[in-house]
Structure 1
């Protein structure tokens, strides 16, 4: 019998279509050749590699699941998941950039916008000519988006927006912001060009996580936009929550890539590191850790693949996404920490990836629903009682 792949013990790849495998191989090659050689330095410098945006766009990774008529790739949900997995094998910041552009900015324009808005924005966003950010979270809000203070007031044929958003990925590289605001008719969404008078984006500094990603605060001081910039086909929290379901789906796949990177590096290091006249990979203590990493990655792979099949069948439910995000983020952060431990002192440097992935995953396990929030979502499904 052939040897099993340490990072694919159940041969998940055999369950993929030819197109899905081609997508995975293409993005894996991009990650190996273009991301990994520079990403450690980017993390050290706190710099998002904007020079990669044209190539990311040329590969069809922006809005990859949206229809081809809008300049997008028209791929299925599993392919989008594999894109997220391979990008996050490089770095969570790269996957976050693509996730925000695709699921949080392009998706709401497609799902909630007018046909004119789709035609105006989606082809340019798919080409990487226009970058978006998603303005939902507020400084005081966190896990309670209904407690939104940003307000949009109708003034003739315009809307005037006042308020602030916090922890916004892509904020200082974006040309448009998808902004959610309270109105007299409930929560609504607006496309706000970032050069609009009164709009300010401010980079959040001193981060120890997602350092190769741009994170910003957004501030709105009497920002005036025309009614034609309002997304007309949604009102209420179901709008932003629908976007978050799309993004969280991709996040269930992304941490698998980070975990695979950590297992691979820890495994290779353990085979090369000789102590007491034998490689540490020959000790039971290290083998137990590596075996447990492989087990948990396998379970996460099966979970996300089934979730992707449900998504493509149109039967995926938000609670199922919550279960997968909870499980897979917890899996990945635990593996990153164990891999760092196997590397010993070497593991605290960004010459190796586990400490970088561990720090990034502190954000991934928190954003778009904290671990506790997703646990409570499942608790509600199990008991029928809302404990929020």
Structure 2
């Protein structure tokens, strides 16, 4: 018996039988989700040996002159039309003139090609538009992003018939049709396999003729733009009990395009997502009959709805919420730095307190990191990649860092942040955080099941091929596929174990860094962690098999490692793409040290809880001989990074670019904050001179010739500007009377009875500290 026969009969077949029992079969829904999208940098990270030079050679995303003109023109004009306080507290909707402007300027047709009447913008331009609009209004950004991401337009572009494209896309681009997408069933949530909405194939009457079609019954909720939509993409389970199509009874999840004026379709009352009054609500359908031609993509796409949705979502989740999150992180950082510079406590700007500086450094790091990952992902999308695993990473980590940033901003602002009114520039974004956390896949589910669970199958060099072979355990072909993939996997694992050993025992000194990149230490540490991750992932999959799907905490930590490797890769690439500005070096160092600390915590969590203790000790011995290092930024580095936000200048602007700062509207709270920040910064030297000379007041300083009258005027302007910023809104109790009558509660005898607001009040100009 030669070696090949020995390996085949004595090793491969027993392993194949053992693995067939260990690994559960892949369900049809899982297979469609796995097949959706493409593999990009996630595959390089899973290999354990990413090619950093290849990453750096990818050009950064850029705007065309036309795209830049659209942002500088219509987008800025739109931002100037938005009054977020009135929108959410008084009108509960965008004003009609804003709706008209959105349609006239074709905001809903950004991704639709020119041949169909749209702009054909890049993914990067789409993201930049959403990001800028989000800095002015969450409601407006949601309204703009939904028609351009997961919805009929996106699905039509990739899967629609030419007839469907020619009819619908021009109407969507010009805004004469408003789209929505009906996915979430009342009782299914994120479990598409439990979708209760059905479409039964049967004969019915359509335009006076008897035709074969679908009778639909559905109840959808959380549908953005649903209350005003004129066309809906509907996901439903298609059934053919009469076998009219000859494919059996259960045809799978399918998508149809439905005009909303069809008999049997009704809009429910509006949802209110945490006081963010974008259009959202349930949609119902009872005995809605349509011909088979209403299926998106025609009969060829019957049963392929879940794959269609996952493919579209692979791009949509990389754009919409990360763009909104990047805007929130940048705005929280910029506003908090300015406020900390102008707001005083105990005679000092609060930005001089180390506790505030620690929060400011984290805000700066989040703004840098989220936007770096957003830009790198968009560059990949514009080059044709549709990375489904990376889109899950972006959705989860962008929204989580948005949550962290807004919480820190609220801590810094204190009472200023919690009093509602037109002067509050944080509250609307803060209220919207749970919306981003929840939609497009709830974050807990995304972290614990999707990032590593899907990534291990989709992005691993050999895992998918092995699983597909194991799904056919009774055929010779399945065995042959498995044997080839398995031994390739073994060779890959041995090579990676060797890499992890060299990089671990040399403490990263023998790990590769890109030839032309700065920050060689950080690149080498990422190489070390990548090989350790690949080794640990193989050990977890080997020892747990299909049970890893149920060990969600382990899966989540492994996903955290993959995610952090991706995010930190993006941060280093951004530094290179921007020309390695020396003043940004401390910020990049801070981002990397914080990220390496998070990597260490995730590695330690997996190694501590991996059930097969021998596997954990193997990984420790090979990759972390002296334990997992836990780097952290020094206090001095933290203070250096905080200073970026406390001083006006090009570095602060580069960190928080392309935000709407209220420049088109007098009295905008962010405009007032920026003005106060500028004046206080200009007046700093004057105040320092007065204090140094022991003068009691600016008036005395003028009399003594220490400062000029013009400098005294600057101090007065700065003081008045700061007063406008620290002021908060207050309302006359009589203005809080509800439309339905006066509702009072018990108050002391000497006080005027107050009202409990049942309706949203108009704002007054009065303000109180």
TM-score by length of 1: 0.89
Query: Does the CA-based 8 Å contact 2:157-2:165 persist in structure 1?
Result: yes
Equivalent residues in 2 for 1:303-322, closer than 5 Å: 303-322=373-392
Structure 1 position 163, deviation (Å): 1.8
Give the aligned length: 372
* Higher RCO (Cα < 8 Å, 6 or more apart): 1
- In the other structure, the counterpart of 1:100 is 146
Equivalent residues in 2 for 1:311-350, closer than 5 Å: 311-348=381-418, 349-350=420-421
Q: Relative to total residues, which structure has the larger strand share, 1 or 2?
A: 1
Structure 1 position 315, deviation (Å): 2.2
- Separation in 1 of the partners of 2:280 and 2:393? 26
1:377 aligns with 2:450: yes
Structure 1 position 21, deviation (Å): 4.2
Larger displacement relative to structure 2 (357-366 or 61-70)? 61-70
Q: Relative to total residues, which structure has the larger helix share, 1 or 2?
A: 2
CA 1:379–1:15 in 2, change beyond 3 Å: closer, same or farther? closer
CA 1:319–1:336 in 2, change beyond 3 Å: closer, same or farther? same
- In the other structure, the counterpart of 1:10 is none
2:392 counterpart SS class: helix
Larger displacement relative to structure 2 (344-353 or 366-375)? 344-353
- In the other structure, the counterpart of 1:286 is 356
Equivalent residues in 2 for 1:1-388, closer than 5 Å: 16-19=62-65, 21-26=68-73, 29-35=76-82, 38-45=83-90, 47-49=92-94, 51=96, 52-103=98-149, 104-156=151-203, 157=211, 158-184=213-239, 185-205=251-271, 207-209=273-275, 211-231=276-296, 232=298, 233-234=300-301, 235-250=304-319, 251-348=321-418, 349-350=420-421, 351-375=423-447, 376-380=449-453, 381-382=455-456, 383=537, 387=549
Structure whose CA Rg is larger = 2
- Separation in 2 of the partners of 1:189 and 1:316? 21
Query: Does the CA-based 8 Å contact 1:149-1:163 persist in structure 2?
Result: yes
Query: Does the CA-based 8 Å contact 2:195-2:237 persist in structure 1?
Result: yes
Listed as ranges, the gaps of 5+ residues in structure 1 are 1-13
- Separation in 1 of the partners of 2:379 and 2:70? 16
- Separation in 2 of the partners of 1:41 and 1:17? 33
Q: Deviations over 1:165-208 (max 9, x none)?
A: 11110111101111111112211111111121111111344542
- Separation in 1 of the partners of 2:128 and 2:358? 28
2:180 counterpart SS class: strand
Q: Deviations over 1:40-64 (max 9, x none)?
A: 2212247120522332234343231
1:75 counterpart SS class: coil
- Separation in 2 of the partners of 1:285 and 1:27? 41
- Separation in 2 of the partners of 1:17 and 1:277? 46
Structure 1 position 309, deviation (Å): 0.9
Larger displacement relative to structure 2 (154-163 or 331-340)? 154-163
Structure 1 position 121, deviation (Å): 1.2
- Separation in 2 of the partners of 1:64 and 1:363? 24
- Separation in 1 of the partners of 2:341 and 2:450? 42
Structure 1 position 311, deviation (Å): 0.6
- Separation in 1 of the partners of 2:425 and 2:313? 28
Structure 1 position 362, deviation (Å): 0.5
CA 1:108–1:193 in 2, change beyond 3 Å: closer, same or farther? same
1:62 counterpart SS class: helix
Query: Does the CA-based 8 Å contact 2:108-2:174 persist in structure 1?
Result: yes
- Separation in 1 of the partners of 2:411 and 2:254? 47
Listed as ranges, the gaps of 5+ residues in structure 2 are 1-59, 204-210, 240-250, 457-536, 551-769
- Separation in 1 of the partners of 2:73 and 2:144? 15
- Separation in 1 of the partners of 2:346 and 2:425? 26
CA 1:275–1:95 in 2, change beyond 3 Å: closer, same or farther? same
- Separation in 2 of the partners of 1:50 and 1:105? 25
- Separation in 2 of the partners of 1:120 and 1:28? 27
Structure 1 position 227, deviation (Å): 2.4
Q: Deviations over 1:76-133 (max 9, x none)?
A: 1111111121122123322222222122121112222211111111111111111011
- In the other structure, the counterpart of 2:683 is none
- Separation in 2 of the partners of 1:100 and 1:226? 27
- Separation in 2 of the partners of 1:139 and 1:172? 17
Larger displacement relative to structure 2 (41-50 or 187-196)? 41-50
CA 1:270–1:27 in 2, change beyond 3 Å: closer, same or farther? farther
Structure 1 position 297, deviation (Å): 1.0
1:141 counterpart SS class: coil
Structure 1 position 67, deviation (Å): 1.3
Structure 1 position 288, deviation (Å): 2.0
- Separation in 1 of the partners of 2:69 and 2:345? 41
Query: Does the CA-based 8 Å contact 2:106-2:175 persist in structure 1?
Result: no
Query: Does the CA-based 8 Å contact 2:135-2:331 persist in structure 1?
Result: yes
- Separation in 1 of the partners of 2:91 and 2:442? 24
- Separation in 1 of the partners of 2:407 and 2:133? 20
- Separation in 1 of the partners of 2:310 and 2:112? 18
- Separation in 2 of the partners of 1:187 and 1:172? 24
CA 1:206–1:302 in 2, change beyond 3 Å: closer, same or farther? closer
- Separation in 2 of the partners of 1:387 and 1:363? 27
Query: Does the CA-based 8 Å contact 1:274-1:280 persist in structure 2?
Result: yes
Query: Does the CA-based 8 Å contact 1:53-1:128 persist in structure 2?
Result: no
